[in-house]
Structure 1
Amino acid sequence: MASHSPGRTSRLSVPVEGCIEHCRIIHNGERLPGEYHVSSAVQEVRGRSGAYVWLALNQPSEEQMTRVAEHFNIHELIVEDAVAAHQRPKVERYDDQLFIVVRSVLFRDDEEVTNTRDVISTGEVQMLLGPDFIITVRHNARLPQLFADIDSDPEHYSAGPSAIAYRVSDFLVDQYVRIAGLLGNEVDELEEEVFTPGSDFSIDKIYLFKREILEMRHATDPLAGALNSLIKDHKDLIPKKIRSYFRDVLDHEAVVKDHIDGYDQRLTSLLDASVAKVTLQQNQDMRAISAFVGLAAVPTLIAGIYGMNFDNMPELQLRFGYYFALAMMFSIMGALFWWFRKNHWL
């Protein structure tokens, strides 16, 4: 039996294939059949003009990413960023390679929110672009299968790896647009709930959506600057046709940003309105309580006076003194009740 010295730990080396979702070659806009090993794919595209590799990875470890980088000659700083998740959207250039980060956003429905208290969850998609390859790295994000698109539109994907980057970015921003619409419906329902007279609403729900919309803003707002940089500063790496497509993605992102900013402002107004409504309701409740206390104080006062044990007190010997005291109590209480109702205390 093998023995291990104290203080040493053993680590299993996971092969790079463990994080690979697919490794395929696109030649002149057409997808070549079958899957490739990373090393064989690199050799294949270097022997073909107009060919590039699309390698898709899912949460690679540092060791796995380092081994992939050796095949594609990826800059070491890109390797470090590709392993680390939770980065803001950005575009960075290393010689003839681009590193693009786009955040993904997932919206959960009401039933899931009740259980998880989490409306918005975010992930990350990183794209490493070289002259003859694109590597997509997923971190808690979903990506579509684009091979049907490649087969149906070979001219588009013949533009190179940037065509894949555009399509992935377009898919993620389309999700922003869809989720912004769903959030708009939620905010509309909250407004109706808050401003409906007599409705029983929870301020916690407004805080929940405001917090999650802030999370979405952190994930989506920096993308505008990244896309602007991609379009304007890297024209030698991104073909003109693809740059025009990225401008369309930028326009959609701007629309989402406007919607999210509007929702944030509306939720702030809802918070102010709901706090004012709760304060008003509390004031009304306190007035009603004060009115009932005032009504109860009248008979208590009269009964307390006539309950004193003095020998010489007026009206004690009256035959109808008891009924007179009751009548006085109810008369004063009736007058107070009328006055409270007139002034909307009751």
Structure 2
Amino acid sequence: MSVGHGPRHPRASESDALEDAFGGPVLPEGRGSESVVGDCAWYRDGRRRGPRLALPDAAAAARQGDGFVWVGLRHPTDDDIAEVAAEFGLPALAVEDAVHAHQRPKLEVYGEVVFVVLKPARYVDHVEVVDIAELAFFLGPTFVVTVRHGECDTLLRVRAELEEGLSDPYAGFGQVAVLHRAADLVADGYEQALELINEDVDEIEALVFGPGADDHAERIYKLKSEVAELRRAVLPLIRPLERLAAGGVPHVPDVADQYFRDVHDHVMRAAEGVELVDRQLSDVLQANTARVTTGQSKVALRQNEDMRKISAWAAIALVPTAIAGIYGMNFDHMPELRWRYGYFVVLAVIAATCTGLHRLFRRNGWL
């Protein structure tokens, strides 16, 4: 296992004073790893100090041990992150996980580097989709490197807070402040997503138990699948937050334990909310299935009743049709053709037979 032990030793060109490094030029986008660097700056006492840094200058600033450097990467490839990994001594296995993404929320310790994965989530209400991003954090003694996959504003909001400055004792967290604020915002995002999902669940319940007879199974199943995506982001985060709240993680000061404990409580509440919503959707899906099945049974029953009525009337109509057909053959030698009362007798037979059949069918419930 390749384990990083902090930034590598400086080159000769990196031996400038810390003040000179902080005043270094901003490199243009598109040159090496700089093309995926969202921002790179030095922070001290909970506040940003100076403009954006080039990677070699950021590594030199981190080696000074005064404050911390934050390097933010967006959708890097193996080649993009190679220079950053070399400058800050990032562990190879964690780098591979950060680049290829699709990781579960987790916390791993590689020597002096702590690797944490968070999964921010937001609910796109108009399409009823849970959008999951991924954030990877490398926490070293004097640096934090973040890798973002997907669309989310979590890190942007954390940077904005650092621009304004953090109050004590939060400012004493150092690079851990970035992780804590990001985890706090992620937990808040889970609760916001659940609020919107609950609104859609209430709407679906109203439709299922309302006067309409439509089948809502497809929408319910789709929303249930999205809730499963949210569960995969929320539940695995509980254990890493428990470790951060319990203490003993490198670079995490004791004063930060209670703050991570608060985030852990928020995530636990979100996890309970996810399970509750999932059970609600399962119940609504069963109710919808039962209602649709009942509706189909009623339709089939009505169809059967209609078929019985049609068959009964067809049987009644068959009597005069058959008799009229027989006497319409116009043979010369047929009984009753020349009988004076034959016509009236035939009509009486038809009426009596039809009346008898009608009463029979009504008694059997066919009419």
TM-score (norm. length: structure 1): 0.84
Q: Which amino acid aligns with 1:126?
A: A
Query: What is the CA deviation profile of residues 191-223 of structure 1, one whole-angstrom value per residue up to 9, with x for unaligned ones?
Result: 111011334242101111111111111121100
Match of 2:135 in 1: 125
Match of 2:190 in 1: 176
CA–CA distance in structure 2, aligned partners of residues 237 and 324 of structure 1: 102
| 2:122 matches 1:109 | no
Q: Which amino acid aligns with 2:145?
A: I
- Using the TM superposition, name which of 101-110 and 207-216 deviates more: 101-110
Match of 1:6 in 2: none
SS at match of 2:133: strand
63, 68, 85: which is aligned to 2:79? Answer: 63
Match of 2:9 in 1: none
Deviation at 1:324, TM superposition (A): 3.1
CA–CA distance in structure 2, aligned partners of residues 210 and 177 of structure 1: 17
Q: Which amino acid aligns with 2:355?
A: M
SS at match of 2:189: helix
**Equivalent runs, 1:27-106 vs 2, <5 Å:** 27-47=44-64, 49=66, 51-106=67-122
Q: Which amino acid aligns with 1:299?
A: W
212, 221, 230: which is aligned to 1:207? Answer: 221
Does the 8 A contact of 2:42 with 2:49 survive in 1?
yes
SS at match of 1:222: helix
Change (3 A) 1:87 1:147: closer
Query: What is the CA deviation profile of residues 30-50 of structure 1, one whole-angstrom value per residue up to 9, with x for unaligned ones?
Result: 21021111111221243353x
Match of 1:232 in 2: 246
Does the 8 A contact of 1:302 with 1:329 survive in 2?
no
SS at match of 2:132: strand
Paired residues in the alignment total 321
Does the 8 A contact of 2:319 with 2:354 survive in 1?
no
Q: Which amino acid aligns with 2:82?
A: T
Match of 1:145 in 2: 157
CA–CA distance in structure 2, aligned partners of residues 285 and 82 of structure 1: 56
Percent identity reads: 27
Match of 1:270 in 2: 284
24, 33, 46: which is aligned to 2:41? Answer: 24
Deviation at 1:54, TM superposition (A): 0.8
User: Which residues of structure 2 form unaligned runs of 5+?
Assistant: 1-29, 327-333, 337-341
Match of 1:216 in 2: 230
CA–CA distance in structure 2, aligned partners of residues 103 and 312 of structure 1: 95
Root-mean-square deviation (CA, aligned residues, Å) is: 2.8
Does the 8 A contact of 2:46 with 2:165 survive in 1?
no
Does the 8 A contact of 2:139 with 2:251 survive in 1?
no
CA–CA distance in structure 2, aligned partners of residues 178 and 53 of structure 1: 31
Does the 8 A contact of 1:90 with 1:101 survive in 2?
yes
Deviation at 1:109, TM superposition (A): 1.9
Deviation at 1:289, TM superposition (A): 1.0
Query: What is the CA deviation profile of residues 123-172 of structure 1, one whole-angstrom value per residue up to 9, with x for unaligned ones?
Result: 10001000100111100031233344222424323321111100011111
CA–CA distance in structure 2, aligned partners of residues 336 and 206 of structure 1: 46
SS at match of 1:146: helix
SS at match of 1:307: helix
CA–CA distance in structure 1, aligned partners of residues 165 and 75 of structure 2: 29
CA–CA distance in structure 2, aligned partners of residues 260 and 19 of structure 1: 34
SS at match of 1:158: helix
User: Which residues of structure 1 form unaligned runs of 5+?
Assistant: 1-12, 114-118, 342-346
Does the 8 A contact of 1:30 with 1:158 survive in 2?
no
SS at match of 1:255: helix
| 2:324 matches 1:324 | no
CA–CA distance in structure 2, aligned partners of residues 327 and 226 of structure 1: 84
Change (3 A) 1:140 1:325: farther
- Using the TM superposition, name which of 303-312 and 179-188 deviates more: 303-312
- Using the TM superposition, name which of 154-163 and 324-333 deviates more: 324-333
Does the 8 A contact of 1:58 with 1:138 survive in 2?
yes
TM-score (norm. length: structure 2): 0.80
CA–CA distance in structure 2, aligned partners of residues 257 and 312 of structure 1: 91
Q: Which amino acid aligns with 1:328?
A: T
SS at match of 1:197: coil
